[in-house]
Each structure stands twice: as C-alpha cells, then as structure tokens.
Amino acid sequence: MKTNMGTLDKIIRVIVAIAAGLLVYFEIVQGVYSYILLAIVAIFILTSLVGFCPIYSIFGLNTCTVKKKD
C-alpha cells in the first residue's frame, strides 16, 4: 500500500471527521443517520492515519507530494 494522500488532505479529513463527530455528540444528527455518519468519521480518521485512500487508488488520484531523487 503506497501513500496516496497529502498532508493537507489528511488535515481536511480530520477536521471534517471532528465536525461530523460533534454533530452526533450534540445530537444534531440522530437515529440511523448518526450511525452512518459515525462510520464515515471512522473511515476518514483511519485513512488519515494510514495515508492511503482506496477510492483514490481506484480513480488513480494521488495528492501526496513525492520527492524526486537527483
């Protein structure tokens, strides 16, 4: 598994995950939608920690900057 997520992408995912988690915590989102949102939060946090997004690899996207050796 190669890293395909850049630092900015990871930060954005963590911020979105925290915001979504707060929506569930403060019961703004309730019921089945809260479980769906928590699953998305878990996926965002996991992919941010690992640095690999399977959807990016399917579409051939890469936001990670790679240093070239001279």
Computed over every residue of the chain, the mean pLDDT equals 93
Model pLDDT for residues 26-59, shown as the tens digit of each residue: 999 999 999 999 999 999 999 999 999 999 999 9
Residue 6 confidence (pLDDT) above 80 = yes
Q: Are 41 and 21 in contact (CB under 8 A)?
A: yes
Domain boundaries, the chain: 7-59
pLDDT of amino acid 16: 97
- Tell which residue, 32, 3, 37, has the closest CA to residue 18: 37
As to burial, measured by CB atoms within 10 angstroms (0-12 exposed, 13-18 middle, 19+ buried), residue 34 is middle
